[in-house]
Chains A and B, each alone.
Chain A
Amino acid sequence: MPEPLNGAPLARDWRDRLVAVTWPAVTGLVSGLLLLLVLLPIAGLLFASPPGKLLRGLSDPLVGPAIRLTLATTIVSLLLIVACGTPLAWAIARRRGGFWRVLETVIELPVVLPPAVAGVALLLAFGRRGLLGPGLAAFGIGLPFSSAAVVLAQSFVAAPFYVQAAIAAFRRLDGDLVLVARTLGASWPRVFFTVAVPLSWPALAGGAALSWARALGEFGATLMFAGQKMGRTQTLPLAIYTALESDLQTAQSLSIILVAVAFALLMAIRAGARR
């Protein structure tokens, strides 16, 4: 209890008491609203049908090819993103200046682009009448509506998540470590592979996990640019969309798989960040 000033009692004002009571109530209520908004749909997914029906939902002929295709395409996308995105992030992180700042913003763009815009953009770049379409066609390559198109759509929307994480990680790297490595005779590639990447790898792994989660959920751009062919372009999100019209249980089962994978990935990222 603090000493009363000038002998006056430190009695609490009625307003203090009102705030002490209402503040937790109000914040609890509004936070709860948002939590419900997120939790209710997930509860719906998990509990709207009995488990037996859910398992039967997985026997739909859509399911197997969709899971296999999703795994294959997202892994290829992720490899592409990591292999090309890591050196790109290193280049951006080490430079200042207008051009590199614009480049960094451009890389980030797909995060905020509507998927429909991404789909149109991909068609206009790689489609038959797009920028590269005729050139590719000359070599007998038709990208749209192929598995390669799925990979392109996933990479387009998922790359920023990895590249951003990698840029941030490389910027956090102690500049003296890089300088000392160079005074010891290390070339830039050696600095990159023996100092920058090993010291940044927890953050790189986190970015890769986030990027993979985004690729797994890719829907809009894939639908427009790659279409809906079972086994070739119909990934899990597209299969869910198709199943919704015929068999709600299949849509539900597949959705639960995606939720579980996404949740596991987020938990893994958090665990990695805490280390």
Chain B
Amino acid sequence: MSGLDVNVHGATGAMSIDVAFRAGGAPLLIVGPNGAGKTSVLMMILGALAPGRGRVTLDGAPLFDHDRRIDVSVERRRIGFVPQRYALFPHLSVLDNVAYGVRAPSRAERLRLAREALADLDASALAGRRPPQLSGGEMQRVALARALACRPRALLMDEPLAALDVTIRRDVRRFLAERLRALAIPTVLVTHDVDDAEALDGDMVVIEAGSVVQAGRLDDLTRAPATEFVTQFVSRRAR
């Protein structure tokens, strides 16, 4: 029963959401035009936005179940989140950022685990720095280390590469693809870049106007694009 099952419906503000997918071993990539509801779906998985109806289940345990009136609060879901602009705490050092969510009996132990998480992402050298002193790629590593340091049961990333300079995007993308494949937890990424989809090589879900219009591998989407948006999206694929 391992994996993240999302099945959410209902209106949020001006948009109606009607989305179902499952994220298992490989990274799941959500693509879609601006304003399609991708971020709203992430918020529903995190618990920051309540779906009107439906279920969100992680490894078989419900996080949200409208019929059974279950709605686990954000801080108890244990889902790591890396927002588009990384949202590092600017008043804390990199090490304290990573240690923020770590549970351990002593501060020394928390810092040790945080150092370990930084080392896992080859970012030990950044420990003493402050977030404003970091480059975009470094911020992303720290944000990822912070999310992974508290051993989440799933990981969500919103446009993880969009804020980065084009010149470094390729390296960061390769690094990210490598690390995410090594993770043993369900991972959901929102992206608008076909290169990300190619490198991360996961299942894809295309959302338009709040609904899933196509799902499958990138090759499936390329072979038979279901909508104008998908046609455009796969046409940017390098041949």
Contacts and interface: CB of A to CB of B under 8 A. Distances in A.
B168 to A, nearest CB: 22
Contact of B91 (A180, A183, A187, A199): A199
Contact of A186 (B48, B79, B100): B100
Interface stretch (A171-179, A249-257, A264-272): A171-179
A183 B89 contact: no
B91 A182 contact: no
B77 interface: yes
A24 to B, nearest CB: 43
Contacts, number: 54
Main secondary structure of the interface of B (DSSP, over half): loop
Contacts of B73: 182
A176 B87 contact: yes
Contacts of B152: 183
A179 B46 contact: yes
B101 interface: yes
Given A184-B146, A185-B150, A199-B91, A179 B103 contact: no
Interface residues of A, number: 16
B64 interface: no
Contact of B101 (A174, A184, A199): A184
A14 B131 CA distance: 58
A195 interface: yes
A198 interface: yes
Given A183-B46, A184-B100, A199 B75 contact: no
Interface in A140-196: 174, 176-177, 179-187, 194-195
Main secondary structure of the interface of A (DSSP, over half): helix
B87 to A, nearest CB: 4
Given A179-B48, A199-B90, A185 B83 contact: no
Contact of A185 (B48, B78, B85, B87): B78
Nearest to B96: A194
A183 B90 contact: no
A198 B79 CA distance: 25
A182 B74 contact: yes
B150 A184 contact: yes
Given A183-B46, A195-B89, A199-B90, A176 B75 contact: no
13 contacts: A174-B87, A179-B48, A179-B74, A179-B83, A181-B100, A182-B75, A183-B79, A183-B147, A184-B75, A184-B101, A185-B101, A186-B101, A195-B89
Interface of A: 174, 176-177, 179-187, 194-195, 198-199
The 6 A-B residue pairs with the shortest CB-CB distance in the complex, in nearest-first order: A184-B101, A176-B87, A182-B74, A183-B81, A176-B83, A180-B87
